[in-house]
Structure 1
């Protein structure tokens, strides 16, 4: 096991007693790499050494987190889930329910991110806040699920972007018949772009994502205005009140709940800023704000876009079965009546999507690095290294590239199976949210003291935590359901299999080796206190 000294933050220029904010001392800049005195204090309390450079500021990390979620783009890309299960009313009201529910989830996570601003995120919070008797094992499992969730997120965001490129080719050449390996090659091209921006251009990432968030906001209006002005619209009564079971469940409420998974994927990853904490200046204050503004801003954009999109879907089945393979592209084509107009709108979304992939890769590499730094993974000594040249965990970036490359081979056998990765990633991340928020709720129920936080839920904390948990448990159940009854081997939701395999492997590895090498972040906190 790594010595505590390996994790300790440098103690120059700052006292290691109670936090600066508690003593009323100013939060001043220590250095470009170390950030502010509050950042140094937080790293010292958690027993971590500052290895990455704090390139992100309040505006740039907000841009980063907004682009990671890209909710209005994501709701268009995943709309087929709700249109098939719930119809347009299911999409509109399902998204709204998800939006409100994730407000409680985000607030709960933001409070923990302020208490312990670390790249580890959920597994670190579980290690600090879970009952001592089980904190080591539970945080270990949460760490593995976090790795699975974020790696899956990288795979699915790249896949969705590749589909748009293939759809553009079909739009301009209707005789083109895409092969599965064509999509795989396009994925690899996007993956290379992600690799370049996460290595050679990593120091420019805050600037790049800051520029892309401008396109994210401007693109919203650029897409929605033509849809408002030019599209044929269906009736308001049908869109807001007519719930439809298009998949044959013979149970509209059940079908609608199954369709919630698509909308949930638009918010899963809302804690992405927390995994970048060690590269954000004044992280304990800035990260919670970025999380809450991302939830609110992206959430509202997404709901307005969902309503607009539904009004433009005059024939649901034609959108679900479009030869373009991407439902919203067919809506763009129907609305503009022009391949050029539809292409412009799609390319704008594609650009945002590609840089969302870049941001997701950055996030999951930091989470992977952090877990390896705490000896939670095989080859931790390699994965837990930070490149002196790039000042980022470059080996973790390599692993993400390799994982997505290997996973892309799945679509050679079944594109339906590949799409189940949405459910796999969503279920994994939801599990990490449930466990970490449960630990915080339990501390509140027991009346145990909490760490100081610059985003304090106060007396409302327990109610917020409980509402978040009820909401998440419902989502978790439906993340494993197939999209249609009587599924075949190809259409079955195999997310539960991948989820189970990872948990079993993590548990077995823990008892064979992990329990001897992994102590959990809380051990470094105690020893460095």
Structure 2
């Protein structure tokens, strides 16, 4: 593939994949349900602190091995020789399915916003339907894939324009809400932790304590900051990747932080009645716009801006997702590896990996088709899987540092602070993955069940089974070559 990306466009690309403030406005429902406004606010602050250590660790590892495979290629450089193949294989699987789930979740959010827009524009013949939202998600994923295929040569330019929109579109939204929206007192906005489960449509019972409710609501905040490793998966399309990639990982996080914090303050102080936001299975920001602006054309305009930005986030996420799957297939780590690891001769993109990503979105939508927490499941599954791949990479790197072994050369390094920064990043990743397995409601049923534990175990079983199959074939091939060589020596 050709090297289209340079430093500025790469920072824009990573900032958009994270899509921090857009996703905060769109997907904060579970956090409002579990912990309230204060729970969302302080979870976001805590996650920024933990994410900083992770970002620094990812930047250093990407400088040591700037390759599209990311985590599984890092593990192959850090792990002990006898565990290298297995750990690398599992890390690659978790990273790949995590990015697939993140892409599906982003498309699912866009579909939800579109449905909300139709409902609020007075179409009396239309009622909210989960299967219809699933079908719309597949359609959006297909549109994003078409853009990635046919506009591949202009992606770097598009990412630069997208980044400008990502920054400047926030200004009118923030100003309008601070001027027009009803204000929440400080005590409610950042000081009142509450369990709002009673406002849910199914009248779910409360958690045993408010503290537990706040902890269960954390995956939303963690997901908002997910995706800083996206740039590593396009490393082969970046000039001087061993320097540019780590810089972009760090600067995209630093650049996104003020926007996210500004949006967070605006949201918690201007969102109005929280019971209205929690009681509906819809994106919270549309209800906030409607309450604050009280003028449907203005609501439609602001909502259209969010839809366009979320489509851009989905486009950038598709790039990272398909490139990682392509790299995984090229290294013969999955079935149909030769097919997945092929670059289209005309479009110069991993065409088959893009198609496979749309298929994965379809499967996830089918799994969650009648679930009231489908978006929460996709977010948690993505969070758990990607953080699991981080845990393996960081664990191997920490062990290598503790054994005082020679690290791969890097032009961007943490120096003597590397070990304790890696340890803090590992603690944060473990914490993030753990809470991603919890349900969003205390009264669990088939319609609100968080399918993340089931999907995670299923992926692990498939990965181990395929690894054993690959190892078995490799052993048979080696024995066959040995017999041929022995026969040749006997004849000689």
- TM-score, normalised relative to structure 2: 0.92
Would you say the 8 A contact 1:130–1:440 is kept in 2? yes
Shift of residue 301, structure 1, vs aligned partner: 1.3
Pairwise CA RMSD of aligned residues? 1.5
Name the counterpart of 1:187. 137
Would you say the 8 A contact 2:391–2:430 is kept in 1? yes
Shift of residue 410, structure 1, vs aligned partner: 3.5
Q: How does 1:193-208 map to 2 (within 5 A)?
A: 193-208=143-158
Shift of residue 489, structure 1, vs aligned partner: 2.0
Distance 1:151 1:134 in 2: 26
1:341 to 291, 298, 318: 298
Distance 1:446 1:90 in 2: 40
Distance 1:76 1:391 in 2: 35
Would you say the 8 A contact 2:27–2:283 is kept in 1? no
Q: Kindly tell me: are residues 203 and 489 of structure 1, through their superposed partners in 2, closer, same or farther at Cα, counting changes over 3 Å?
A: same
2:207 to 242, 249, 252: 249
Distance 1:235 1:92 in 2: 14
Would you say the 8 A contact 1:76–1:328 is kept in 2? yes
Shift of residue 250, structure 1, vs aligned partner: 2.9
Would you say the 8 A contact 1:376–1:514 is kept in 2? no
Q: Kindly tell me: are residues 464 and 179 of structure 1, through their superposed partners in 2, closer, same or farther at Cα, counting changes over 3 Å?
A: same
Shift of residue 212, structure 1, vs aligned partner: 1.0
Secondary structure of 1:391's partner?
A: coil
Name the counterpart of 1:58. 7
Would you say the 8 A contact 1:55–1:280 is kept in 2? yes
Shift of residue 333, structure 1, vs aligned partner: 0.8
Shift of residue 416, structure 1, vs aligned partner: 2.2
2:88 to 139, 153, 157: 139
Distance 2:13 2:374 in 1: 30
Structure 2 alignment gaps of length 5 or more: 198-205, 476-492
Shift of residue 509, structure 1, vs aligned partner: 1.5
Residue range with higher mean Cα deviation, 176-185 or 263-272: 176-185
1:277 to 226, 232, 235: 235
Name the counterpart of 1:302. 260
Residue range with higher mean Cα deviation, 302-311 or 497-506: 302-311
Shift of residue 171, structure 1, vs aligned partner: 0.9
Would you say the 8 A contact 1:375–1:517 is kept in 2? no
Distance 2:32 2:471 in 1: 44
Shift of residue 373, structure 1, vs aligned partner: 1.1
Name the counterpart of 1:472. 429
Distance 2:112 2:127 in 1: 13
- In the alignment, is residue 238 of structure 1 matched against residue 176 of structure 2? no
Name the counterpart of 2:343. 386
Shift of residue 291, structure 1, vs aligned partner: 0.7
- TM-score, normalised relative to structure 1: 0.86
Higher helix proportion (structure 1 or 2) = 2
Q: How does 1:428-447 map to 2 (within 5 A)?
A: 428-447=385-404
Residue range with higher mean Cα deviation, 176-185 or 64-73: 176-185
1:398 to 355, 360, 382: 355
Shift of residue 252, structure 1, vs aligned partner: 1.5
Shift of residue 412, structure 1, vs aligned partner: 3.5
- In the alignment, is residue 148 of structure 1 matched against residue 148 of structure 2? no
Would you say the 8 A contact 1:66–1:213 is kept in 2? yes
Shift of residue 174, structure 1, vs aligned partner: 5.4
Count the aligned residue pairs: 466
Secondary structure of 2:142's partner?
A: helix
Name the counterpart of 1:259. 217
Distance 2:454 2:368 in 1: 17
1:377 to 334, 350, 359: 334
Shift of residue 514, structure 1, vs aligned partner: 4.9
Would you say the 8 A contact 1:78–1:263 is kept in 2? no
Q: Kindly tell me: are residues 220 and 97 of structure 1, through their superposed partners in 2, closer, same or farther at Cα, counting changes over 3 Å?
A: same
1:97 to 37, 46, 66: 46
Query: Which whole-Å deviations, capped at 9, do the CAs of 1:365-405 have from their partners, x for residues lacking one?
Result: 11001111111000101111112212221111111112212
Would you say the 8 A contact 2:371–2:448 is kept in 1? no
Name the counterpart of 2:249. 291
Distance 1:308 1:123 in 2: 39
Query: Which whole-Å deviations, capped at 9, do the CAs of 1:448-491 have from their partners, x for residues lacking one?
Result: 11122122100100010011111111111110001111311221
Secondary structure of 1:199's partner?
A: helix
Would you say the 8 A contact 2:190–2:268 is kept in 1? no
Distance 1:482 1:174 in 2: 33
Name the counterpart of 2:162. 212
Name the counterpart of 1:130. 79
